Structure formats: structure tokens, C-alpha cells
Structure 1
Amino acid sequence: MNPSTPPTAPVRVLLCDDHAVVRAGLQALLDSADGIEVVGEAGTGEEALALCARLRPDLVLMDLQLGAGIDGVETTRRLTATPGEDGPRVLVLTTYDTDADITRAMRAGATGYLLKAERPEEFFAAIHAAAQGRMALSPPVATRVMAQMRHPGPTLTDRERDILAHLSQGLANREIARALFISEATVKTHLGRIYAKLGVDTRAAAVAIAKEQRLLP
């Protein structure tokens, strides 16, 4: 490096994961990387919000599942709610790679989405890219994102929308069947189709995606 060139400031990273062992492993790994400095760690979304306000990191490494309290998606949404240079970028680091999880995280404002199986050198490169505002995606995630762009949104039938609406009210299959004057087996069949169209495998995820994509009547 030219002696007259000032050194580049390291990327200041906050870790957010509800497992202390995972945070310790990430800390050790990032300590070995050039140009990256871990400035804090949080075990909950609420703690991450408080630490970000105080430490002002450049980037938050965010897990999606955070146990009790707000999850990683909601934490990401709150961190990125006010666009501008002052807030941190958020890079999701998780084991979950369903379409629903990816969609929710990206719509919440995440700059990237990495799987925990990523190799260290690719992990470090993604941190630097995300800190600069460039999209960073694991290859399997990038493939899913491209597929979603080719097929931007699910098309639900009127009956499927009705079932989703009742699902969002917390009704069980039997209660939905009674309300719509159909059999419980028919409800299950429709739910299977809804899950497939939304790329989810749970009732809660189906309702979350339906609300975000405004699929509810």
C-alpha cells in the first residue's frame, strides 16, 4: 500500500443471534478476517435495537429466529425503517432458506441473505459487499430470488383467499369447514395448495406472507 494512502476503516459489525455458542464462533471467525471489527453482540431483537442506537455499527449480522420477543425480520424492519446513511445495513445469516423466509427478510430491508453453510472467504466478502450497500446472496438464495422475479406473485382462487382469511383469524380446519360449508378434507386440500403457492409449510408463515402480499380479502 502507498504510504500516503490512508488505511480503510474496518467494517464495524454487530452480531445478533440467540445462541451464545454461535455468537462466540462468529466472533472468533471474524476476528481472523481483515477489515472487519465486531463491536458488539445481541441475543434478542430488542437488545440489537438498543445496541445499534448506542454503538452505531455499519452492519448487523442477523439471525431470523431469535426465541422470545421480536424475530429477525421485525428487527430488520425496525433497523431499516428510516432510509439514509445513518442506519446500519442488515445481512441475514441463517439456516432457513424457504421462499417465505427470503421474501420476508428482503422486504423488511435486508441488504443480503446468507446461509450458515457459507465458506469463510465468501462470508467475509459478503460482509464487505453488504456494508457498501451491495446485495449479497448465497447461491441457493440467489436462485430462489431469480425464480421469484420470473414468477412474481402467487395467484389464489377466491376459495383459497376465503380460507386464508379464516386462517388469519386463528380458526382450526374444522371451524373453517363449518364457516364455509365445506368438508374438513376439502379445507386440507386447499391448504396444501395455498402452502405450495406461497412457498411455506406452516399456517403462521402462510398468514404472514398473505398479509405482506395483501392477499387477504
Structure 2
Amino acid sequence: LTVGRVKGVRVAGPVRLDVRAGEVLGITGPNGAGKSTLALTLAGLLPGLGGRVQASGALAEGPQRDPLKWSSRALLTRIGTVFQDPEHQLLATTVRGELEIGPRSLGLPEDEIAARVDDLLVRLRLDRLAEANPYTLSGGEKRRLTVAATLATRPRVIVLDEPTFGQDAVTWAELVAIIAELRDDGTAVVVVTHDAAVLDALHARRFELGASA
């Protein structure tokens, strides 16, 4: 796979890697190596410049194996993505409303939506901010919110770009615990990070992109 943001301009690759259920894959490397671009391509949000991204097994659920060609609804339950800049994915006027968007778009019953949202608000220490406008949150709170919103649809693959950046020690540990729980439940997790400690704590398999990759 070769990736880039602009057609014909390679940022990283060629690379070959597997994203596996029940495992954390840590994508590391220096700034400018193409980590975020690779992550967005794996998530089906950017076209590859060469090679291919191909889902296998239960993730594919049919003949279409290229995530880029799935519907947005299919992506919601298959691959969830947390961007490096949380403000790039904030849509609602309240924290609670942000967490409700994904489950509601899946047509879940209101009681199921409420149960999922209430659980995530507590687990990610956002319950006291439930009615706040997401844009009034601190940087760390916005990042927790986007993680929670991604988890609300319970996708089989989760791509996280610097999920622990700007978090205090307590929240860092809580995020690591949640990611570990997802891994142990069979979710495939991709973590782009400069935080070696988070990869150590998650026993992640590492894939390093070089500056010239």
C-alpha cells in the first residue's frame, strides 16, 4: 500500500501490514512520516495511491472488501476513527448529542441509545459535561468525547490518532483500560502515537514508518 493526501504525491509506502481482531497495532515514526495518512487510508477515509486496503472475514460482510467503497452506515459499525484534531469531527451542540449521533443513525431504540450514551459519559468522565457545547470543552475533554462517540457505535475496528495526547494521568489510565477491554473483546485497534508508554501498556504490535518511507 502507498498512501498520500494528494493524488500522485506519495507520503508513505509501499507498506504491507495486517490489522488483526483482538490486537492493538501501534503505528509509530517521526513527524511527517505519514502515520495519520496511513491511518485514514486504513479506515476507508482516503484512497490509497497504490496497492489496496482489503477487509477479510466477517468484517467484509459481502463481496465489497474495500472500506473506501462502503456506505457511511457500514463504516459506522465496522471501522470507527478518532482524528488527530477532535474539532474535525464534532457535529452536535451538546456532548450528549454528539454521542447520540452514531447510534441514532443506526436506528437503535431510544432506550439502547440512552444506555450506551450514559455508560460512555461516566466511563470517560464526561457526565458532568453532558449538556455542554463540545466546542467549549478543553482539548483533552474534546479528545475523550471523540473517543466516546466512536465507541458508541461499537465498530469492529477502531483507528485512534494520538488518543492519549493532552490527558492527565487518571484519564490516560482510563483510556488505556478501555482500549485494552476492546482488544480483549475481539476488536481490532490501530493506535497512531508518539506515546511509547501507551503501546507498552497495551502490549501492542508495532509498525514503524521511517522518515523517508
What TM-score does the superposition give when structure 1 sets the normalisation length? 0.30
Higher relative contact order (CA 8 A, sep 6+): 2
What TM-score does the superposition give when structure 2 sets the normalisation length? 0.30
More helix by share: 1
Of the two, which has the highest radius of gyration?
Answer: 1
